Amino acid sequence: MKAKLTDKIATFFIVVFSLLIVAVLVGLIAFILVRGLSHINWHFLTSVPQTIRAGGGIGPQLFNSLFLLVLTLIITIPLGLGAGIYMAEYAKPGKITGTIRLVVEVLSSFPSIVVGLFGLLLIVNTFGFGFSLFSGALVLTIFNLPLMVRITEQAFRSVPKEQKEAGLALGLSKWKIISSVLFPVALPSIVTGTVLAAGRVFGEAAALLFTAGMSTPRLDFTNWNPLSPTSPINPFRPAETLAVHIWKINSEGLAPDAAQIAAGASAVLVILVLLFNLFARWIGGVLYKAMTASKRMG
């Protein structure tokens, strides 16, 4: 009797706390969307911002955020996959492995402002990359690497040992087992984790203030020369992202409709993050079903 009562009380509090968290999240998202959706239109999404006049948009900032996402993934995915595979399949228990795991955990808990200052001193000034998309991508890689390494390691460790043993019984090399047996099974989890980690790129602002910069040159979308300073795909130009633009408008915006621009940009940012999370769940489910179907056919 006492055990049943305890179970009911615990269940009640768990449900209440869960509903409270959901309510806070839904309320926050609804508040941002209600304030900002009315300001979103095609002109707002494609036009350049205005400094002191009304009617500006977020076109360059939106493009910068998407381009920065691509650059960050190009750097993060190979490094994260390599480190995760090493930790799961090659690293032996010991001090070196423990130190690597400790470093990964410490990196995941670093404040973004500290990482931004580190990027300013080392990447921007010492290495001479200046305020650029490339500098911002390197800093964001520091944020995403711990998550990418953990996801890859856990995905490989979750593959049944029988599949690895079957590959060894067939005389396959270790790398052949990793690339042909383990990786296809772990791929759905890796892709889902990668997309979720990518969502952080949109919301990061503090670190990018010191690396990517707070301004964007006048971009010529007809010029696709990556070495041109006005080219949108030049990775070494300064770039103000959407999150940085929101902070800048709220702190020093002089345009008469600065509050409306910030509200609209915030709504766009929330929608992008939501779409990325939904996309991660969808693509993970599709890959999982595909892998399940291929196993049954095999």
| pLDDT the model gives residue 293 | 67
Structure tokens at 169: 């019984």
pLDDT confidence of residue 164: 79
Q: Calculate the alpha carbon distances from 181 to 86, 160, 291 in Å.
A: 16, 11, 12
Structure tokens at 37: 């959706």
Q: What pLDDT does 63 receive? A: 93
Cα–chain center distance at 10 = 35
**Residues in Cβ contact with 76 at an 8 Å cutoff, skipping those fewer than 6 apart:** 140, 141, 144, 145, 148, 197
Q: What angle do CA 53, 133, 114 make, to 5 degrees?
A: 95
**pLDDT value at position 176?**
85
Specify whether the CB–CB gap between 130 and 124 falls below 8 A.
yes
**CATH 1.10.10.10 describes domain 40-297:** no
pLDDT of residue 295: 57
pLDDT at position 155 is 87
Please provide the DSSP assignment of 152-210 as one string. Answer: HHHHHHTS-HHHHHHHHHTT--HHHHIIIIIHHHHHHHHHHHHHHHHHHHHH--HHHHT
Domain boundaries, the chain: 40-297
Q: What is the pLDDT of residue 291?
A: 66
Task: Report the pLDDT value the prediction gives residue 133, as an integer from 0 to 100.
Answer: 93
Average pLDDT across each block of 10 residues of the chain; the chain has 298 residues. List them in order. Answer: 79 92 92 90 89 84 92 91 87 79 78 89 92 93 86 86 79 82 83 78 86 87 85 91 89 82 91 83 74 61
